Amino acid sequence: MTFVLYWSGLVIMSSLYITIPLISTFTDIFKVTPTQAAWTSSSFSFCFAIGCLFYGPLSDRFGRKTVILSGLSIIDVVSVCYLYFVLFL
């Protein structure tokens, strides 16, 4: 379990920095300016920070396991809905 949590944390934190060398690729493929392409890492950072602001107080109030399982359940439902709309609509 420790390895799974460590690996998950490592992957999530690397997402903050993995898009920095890809900015030139994003500008070429999507035909956007470098400033617009830089928003990929900035938007992830902002959303991650906002999520942490909510996670802390919620996990203190309801318990860490409850908040983690609730978050995983919500992301499962959102992912399935997203795939449904992408594949079938």
What is the reported pLDDT for 79?
93
Report helix, strand or coil for 78. helix
Backbone angles phi, psi at 33, to 5 degrees: -75, 160
Residue 37 one-letter amino acid: A
| Cα 77 from Cα 83, distance rounded (Å) | 10
Q: What pLDDT digit, counting tens, does each position of 5-47 carry? A: 899 888 888 877 887 888 899 899 999 999 998 888 888 889 8
| Of 48, 16, 20, residue with least CA distance to 34 | 20
- Extents of the domains making up the chain: 2-88
pTM of the model: 0.63
| Of 19, 11, 23, 10, residue with least CA distance to 41 | 19
Q: What pLDDT digit, counting tens, does each position of 36-74 carry? A: 988 888 888 898 889 889 989 999 999 999 998 999 999
For residue 84, pLDDT beyond 80 = yes
